[in-house]
Copies of this chain bind each other. A is one copy, B any other.
Amino acid sequence: MSLRTGFMRNILRPVLTALVAAPLALPVPALAESSANAPAGDVAWDIVSGLTTDVGQRLAGSEAEARARAWGAEKLKALGFQNVAVEPFTIRGYVRGVDKARLIAPVPQVLAVTALGYSGATPDKGIEGDIAYFPTLAALKAAPDGSLGGKIAFIDHAMRRAQDGAGYGPYGQVRREGPGVASRKGAAAVVIRSVGTDSHRNPHTGVTSFPQGVKPIPAGAVSNPDADLIARLAASGRTLRLALTLTGKTTEGMPSGNVVGELPGRDPSLPPILVGCHLDSWDLGTGAIDDASGCAIVTAAALKAQDGGRALRTIRVLWAGSEELGGYGGDAYAKAHAEPHALAMESDFGADRVWRVQTRFAPADKALAERIVAALNPLGVVPGKGEAGGGTDVEPVIEKQKLAVVDLGQDGTHYFDLHHTPDDTLDKVDPAALAQNVAAWTEVLKIVANVAEPVAPAG
């Protein structure tokens, strides 16, 4: 990824930004003109650039996320979307404080650390403790309850790259489950190796959780090079002692919300196609690949799917809020929208190329599934052997209504280099790959939004 960004950063980007900025200063045209005048590639770039530049980080529950909702609603209206609405809800938020970590023995070393979402808090002056090193989450689980006696647990792991992101499930458990386990074992705090595949001094944040009855303890992640250092020092048999300051706080009842908008179909009586992404981001970076790109892709494709004429079915765009803290936006959407939907899709895996398509249709819709696969073939997209699932923001409504689903799988080889880090910034988005995403989504939406027959529940 760094190989291409050097070029893109300074050569392509200002040119593209200049090209894209101009049309948006014009008066907002009606839908047909809008989709004709603004090539979808530019709409997508403009959304990613706008969300990262003019909003920046938009942590769930924050004032920045509220600004992102206002920006999103205005943007959708400007692009010709109708029935644009902000649908508010409240969440259990996490407000970041001071994050600091340094080894004080066997040698002083400053570590790059981030608090995990819903971490317990240290006092402002921090805490100190010896490190109990666990090479795996399983090793920590094998320790007797209460045995850590106030130490700081360090949980290592061995996540590797995978094109489909398969490592995030198992190794992500270190972040999701590890802190709760460490607390039960008696740890005063816990630090994990970042759930990421890069070797930069940028730690990966993300949400953790403590089960009912388990005391939330301070929980942080250090960057991979820092985790390497801890592993080397631990392997030398010396005692490691850590000073840790993580002062962030969990706060109930924080304001959040979804932004929805529609491109009404020629037959508004038909259940709509739902395309989702999430608007919130972690606060360390500016959420370019997670998930401004997703909102850019689904929105630009929804518009571009109207190029040959308005689609038969309504396409509804969902820019979900507070995905990162536990899928609040998807839950709120499913609760608020009991009306029937035809099919749901989501984009939330970065901005690299779509390489795989998987679907979930009722047996009766086999031919529809085959048409989709065939339409994607010229774009380098191959059928996968698995079943589509949607994604956090659309899964609740999919579950509730047993919806048909199409998953356009993006290449995630480099996704976990950037995921939830300060490095999730605009320069990491490749305009050509973004455009390929929009093209693939457009092919699918042109098919599914023009299906006249009912789309059967996928069961």
Q: Residues on A close to B: CB < 8 A?
A: 1-3, 5-6, 9-10, 13-14, 17-18, 21, 49, 52-57, 64, 106-110, 112, 158, 160-161, 197-202, 224-225, 228-229, 231-233, 235-236, 285-286, 417, 421-423, 425-428
Chain B residues whose C-beta falls within 8 Å of the C-beta of A54 in the assembled complex: 106-107
Chain B residues whose C-beta falls within 8 Å of the C-beta of A201 in the assembled complex: 202, 285, 421-423, 425
The answer to whether B426 and A228 touch across the interface, beta carbons within 8 angstroms, is yes
Chain B residues whose C-beta falls within 8 Å of the C-beta of A422 in the assembled complex: 112, 201
State in angstroms the CA–CA spacing of A56 and B104 once bound together: 12
State which of B5, B21, B109, B160 has its C-beta within 8 Å of the C-beta of A56: B109
Give A341 Cβ to nearest chain B Cβ, in Å: 35
Chain B residues whose C-beta falls within 8 Å of the C-beta of A417 in the assembled complex: 2
The answer to whether B49 and A14 touch across the interface, beta carbons within 8 angstroms, is no
The answer to whether B224 and A427 touch across the interface, beta carbons within 8 angstroms, is yes
* Given A112-B422, A225-B427, A228-B427, A2 contacting B235 (CB threshold 8 A): no
Chain B residues whose C-beta falls within 8 Å of the C-beta of A231 in the assembled complex: 14
The answer to whether A2 and B199 touch across the interface, beta carbons within 8 angstroms, is yes
In the complex, the chain B residue whose C-beta lies closest to that of A4 is B199
State which of B108, B112, B228 has its C-beta within 8 Å of the C-beta of A9: B228
Chain B residues whose C-beta falls within 8 Å of the C-beta of A108 in the assembled complex: 56, 64
State in angstroms the CA–CA spacing of A280 and B182 once bound together: 38
State in angstroms the CA–CA spacing of A21 and B233 once bound together: 12
Q: List 27 A-B contacts (CB under 8 A).
A: A2-B198, A2-B199, A9-B199, A9-B228, A10-B158, A10-B160, A13-B228, A14-B232, A21-B236, A49-B232, A53-B107, A53-B229, A53-B233, A54-B107, A55-B107, A56-B108, A64-B108, A199-B425, A199-B427, A200-B202, A201-B202, A201-B423, A202-B202, A224-B427, A225-B426, A228-B425, A229-B286
Give A204 Cβ to nearest chain B Cβ, in Å: 13
Chain B residues whose C-beta falls within 8 Å of the C-beta of A224 in the assembled complex: 9, 427
In the complex, the chain B residue whose C-beta lies closest to that of A18 is B235
Chain B residues whose C-beta falls within 8 Å of the C-beta of A425 in the assembled complex: 199, 201, 225, 228-229
State in angstroms the CA–CA spacing of A117 and B136 once bound together: 41
* Given A197-B6, A417-B2, A17 contacting B235 (CB threshold 8 A): yes
The answer to whether B428 and A199 touch across the interface, beta carbons within 8 angstroms, is yes
State in angstroms the CA–CA spacing of A110 and B107 once bound together: 31
The answer to whether A17 and B285 touch across the interface, beta carbons within 8 angstroms, is no
Most buried by B among A14, A49, A225, A233: A225
State in angstroms the CA–CA spacing of A201 and B18 once bound together: 24
State which of B53, B57, B64, B198 has its C-beta within 8 Å of the C-beta of A6: B198
State in angstroms the CA–CA spacing of A160 and B423 once bound together: 20
* Given A17-B235, A200-B202, A56 contacting B6 (CB threshold 8 A): no
In the complex, the chain B residue whose C-beta lies closest to that of A109 is B56
Chain B residues whose C-beta falls within 8 Å of the C-beta of A160 in the assembled complex: 6, 10
State in angstroms the CA–CA spacing of A52 and B109 once bound together: 10
Chain B residues whose C-beta falls within 8 Å of the C-beta of A57 in the assembled complex: 109-110
* Given A2-B1, A109-B56, A232-B53, A423 contacting B18 (CB threshold 8 A): no
Chain B residues whose C-beta falls within 8 Å of the C-beta of A9 in the assembled complex: 199, 224-225, 228
State which of B53, B161, B235, B423 has its C-beta within 8 Å of the C-beta of A14: B235
* Given A197-B6, A200-B200, A225-B423, A286 contacting B109 (CB threshold 8 A): yes
Chain B residues whose C-beta falls within 8 Å of the C-beta of A18 in the assembled complex: 235
Give A237 Cβ to nearest chain B Cβ, in Å: 10
